[in-house]
Structure formats: structure tokens, C-alpha cells
Amino acid sequence: MSEALIDIVAVSGHTGVSRWQALARRGSVAGVATMRPIILFRRGFLLPGAPAPRPGAADLSLYVEPAWRRRGIGSRLLAAVREQAVVPSLVIDVITGSPGEAFSLRNGFRRIRSSRHDLLTYGDVHGAWLGELVDVEHPGYRLVHWTGDPVGAPRAGELLRDPSRPGSAVLTAAETDGDLAAYVVAVVGAPSPRRARQYGPAVFAEHRGRPLGRWVNAALIQRLREIHPEVNEIETDTAENDLAMLAEREYLGFRPLRRTRLYELTLP
Ligand SMILES: CC(C)(COP(=O)(O)OP(=O)(O)OC[C@H]1O[C@@H](n2cnc3c(N)ncnc32)[C@H](O)[C@@H]1OP(=O)(O)O)[C@@H](O)C(=O)NCCC(=O)NCCS
């Protein structure tokens, strides 16, 4: 196998998705690059305080078949993307300490976030204990729930003004006098119907100091179980330097799963 025998070709993808393949002589695919618009909501970038990539940035994923690695194919795929992409920057998500991270650093990507992913398994949750957390009084605040699809990634407050309907998102919030104080969202269905993804909780500055984050999170875990009994685990990610939030995950029964880093490459 020789990398000189590899051609990099653009292939047609779905609308908005661009793909490049590294083709070996006999037509076998040695590697693939896929570029797609970032779904800000799914990346948690809309949470207050989250580091955001440049507006219009695209998500890039690269994959080279193990037998073809360390022969410059990933670099050639990236060069093709850089040459043809008309976006301000590329964002790549890698496992901490993986070849993908070494590759990103070598190619001038800049780190924008380090995260710990945690998993909560319903089998480990004591229902009565969770119920007690949800039932704790928070004077002046009330819990509200919303379900539907977060189309176009609007903000939580806008979703709550929308009627609930069937959809993949479940949002639980604490309100006071019609003002949004805290919220947390779970999205079900992808990548697996059994595992939901949680974003948040976020607590607005003027409402900190009360455990509203814990309250809405416990209520979301309970609510999700009621309306999506097929879901048996919840994955979430947290900035590695947010020690308070990491401790809160553990309090609620989440367990560390893996660490990832998000890198961004600015294009000329
Ligand atoms: C990351 C990946 C695409 C790299 O593809 P590749 O064809 O092996 O990359 P290249 O040969 O072009 O490597 C370019 C440079 O990146 C760095 N690099 C790549 N893999 C590395 C590894 N395993 N360890 C250390 N450095 C590495 C090196 O500096 C390398 O240059 P060198 O070989 O001259 O030292 C490939 O390992 C892969 O498919 N991994 C699994 C999927 C993945 O993690 N994708 C990235 C996130 S979407």
C-alpha cells in the first residue's frame, strides 16, 4: 500500500453536507472527511457561558482506515477540505489523548473546550430519593415542562412559550413570576433510542445560590422516565474546569464515561 496511489475526491453528500474520500487504486475507500453545519443546540453552545466557535463554523469529522494511518492521508483529506470549504472555521471533536488530538495539534487547530462526558443509568437511580429532590419546596419558583422539537435552536424561554407537542426534546425549567430562572434539556432518539443527551442545567446569574440546577435536573430525570420509558441512560458533558458542575453530576448519580476536546481551525 502506498499513499501515492491514493486519490482525494469530493463526493456528493446530503444537502449542506460535504464529503471527500481517499480512494485507493482498486476503488477501496481508505479515508473519509465529512463537513456539516454545526447544530449549535446539540453541541451545547447555546448554554450561557459556553465557549462558542466562530459564527458559521462547520463540524469536521475525519476517519482513516487503520491500515492506512500515519501515511499522510488524513492530512491530504484536510488539505482538500481547507482548499474547498467556504466557511470561516472548522471544528473537530476528539477523544482526549487520541491520534485525533495529536493530528489536530499538528495541523494548527486551537483548543476551545475540554469536556468530561458522564452517564447516568436509570438502574442506579433510587426513585424515592429522586422524588424527594423534586418535591423540595423552592419558594417563589415553580417547575414547568415542555416537549417538542427545538427547530432552529431557539432559546429555552422561546420554547416554553410554544405549546408542547410530540418531539425529541424534553425541557424542564424553574420559573419565577414568568421569568426563566434555570433550565435543562434532554434530547432523545439519536444516536441511540435508549440513550438521551442532556444539555445543562443552566441557572441564570440572578437566581444562583439556590440549588435550582439540582432541582430542574432531578425533575428532568424523573420526567424523561415518565414520557420516554424506552430511555434507560442519559449522557451529558461538562467543561473539565467546572468543578462544581462535575460534583453535581456525581451527586445525581452520573458516572464518568470519557474525556473529549473540541478544536477549531480558522480558515483564511
Ligand atoms: C486522526 C486520523 C484521521 C489521522 O489520520 P492519518 O492519515 O493517520 O493522519 P496523518 O498520517 O496525515 O498524520 C499527520 C500527523 O498527525 C499526527 N498524528 C497522526 N496520528 C498520530 C498518532 N497516532 N500519534 C501521534 N501523532 C499522530 C502526526 O504528527 C502525523 O505526522 P507524522 O506521521 O509525520 O508524525 C486517524 O488516526 C483516524 O481516523 N482516527 C480515528 C478517527 C478520529 O479520531 N478522527 C478525528 C476526529 S473526527
126-252 to CATH, choices 3.20.20.70, 3.40.630.30, 3.40.50.300, 1.10.10.10: 3.40.630.30
60 alpha carbon to ligand 1 midpoint, in Å? 14
Strands (E), the chain: 7-11, 18-23, 29-37, 58-64, 89-95, 110-121, 142-148, 169-176, 179-192, 195-203, 233-239, 255-266
Ligand 1 centroid – CA 3 distance (Å): 14
Distance CA 190, CA 151 (A): 15
* Nearest residue by C-alpha to atom 33 in ligand 1: 70
Amino acid of residue 94? V
Q: Where are the beta strands (DSSP E) in 126-232?
A: 142-148, 169-176, 179-192, 195-203
* Residue ranges around ligand 1 (CB below 6 Å): 61-64, 69-75, 92, 94, 98-100, 102-103, 106
The predicted structure's pLDDT at residue 1:
54
The number of beta carbons lying within 10 Å of the beta carbon of residue 242 is: 14
Q: 262 and 92 in contact (C-beta within 8 Å)?
A: yes
Q: Place 237 in a pLDDT band, splitting at 50, 70 and 90.
A: very high
Residue 28 is predicted with a pLDDT of 93
Q: Count the alpha carbons within 13 Å of 106 in the hemisphere toward its beta carbon.
A: 11
What is the C-alpha separation between 36 and 58, in angstroms, rounded? 6
Would you say the CATH fold of 126-252 matches that of 3-116+261-266?
yes
pLDDT one-digit tens code per residue, 126-179: 999 999 999 999 999 999 999 998 776 678 888 888 899 998 999 999 999 989
Instruction: Report pLDDT for 59.
Output: 95
Ligand 1 atom with the shortest distance to the CA of 103: 16
For residue 104, the ligand 1 atom closest to its alpha carbon is 16
| Cell triple for 64 | 482513516
Q: What is the pTM of this model?
A: 0.89
Domain boundaries, the chain: 3-116+261-266, 126-252
Closest residue (by CA) to atom 7 of ligand 1? 74
SS3 168: coil
The protein residue whose alpha carbon is closest to atom 19 in ligand 1 is 103
The percentage of the chain sitting over the pLDDT mark of 70, rounded to a whole number, equals: 94
Closest ligand 1 atom to 106 CA: 29
Cα(9) to centroid of ligand 1, in Å? 19
Q: Which residue has the higher pLDDT, 226 or 39?
A: 226
Q: Could you tell which of 98, 103, 106, 265 is best to mutate to test the pocket of ligand 1, judged by most ligand atoms within 8 Å of the CB?
A: 103
Average pLDDT rounded to a whole number, residues 246-251: 96
Ligand 1 pocket test: which of 29, 34, 69, 90 has the largest number of ligand atoms within 8 Å of its C-beta? Answer: 69
Q: What's the pLDDT at 45?
A: 62
Q: What is the pLDDT of residues 14-50, one digit of tens each?
A: 788 999 999 998 889 999 999 998 877 666 666 777 7
pLDDT value of position 4: 62
Are 266 and 107 in contact by the 8 Å Cβ rule? The answer is: no
Q: Of 5 and 256, which is predicted with more confidence?
A: 256
With a cut of 70, say whether residue 257 has pLDDT above it: yes
Confidence (pLDDT) at 235: 96
Residue 151, pLDDT score: 72
Q: Residue 258 pLDDT > 60, yes or no? A: yes
CA of 80 to the centre of ligand 1 (A): 16
Query: Per CATH, is 3-116+261-266 categorized as 1.10.3720.10?
Result: no
Which residue's CA is the closest to the ligand 1 atom numbered 10?
72
Grade residue 103 by pLDDT with cuts at 50, 70 and 90.
Answer: very high
Which residue in 71, 64, 72, 67 sits closest to 98, CA to CA? Answer: 64
User: In this model, does residue 79 exceed pLDDT 70?
Assistant: yes
Query: Tens digit of pLDDT for each residue in 208-220?
Result: 888 999 999 999 9
* 190, three cell numbers: 439519536
Measured in Å, residue 102 CA sits from the centre of ligand 1 at: 7
| Average pLDDT of every residue of the chain | 92
Query: What pLDDT does residue 57 have?
Result: 93
pLDDT score of 265 more than 80: yes
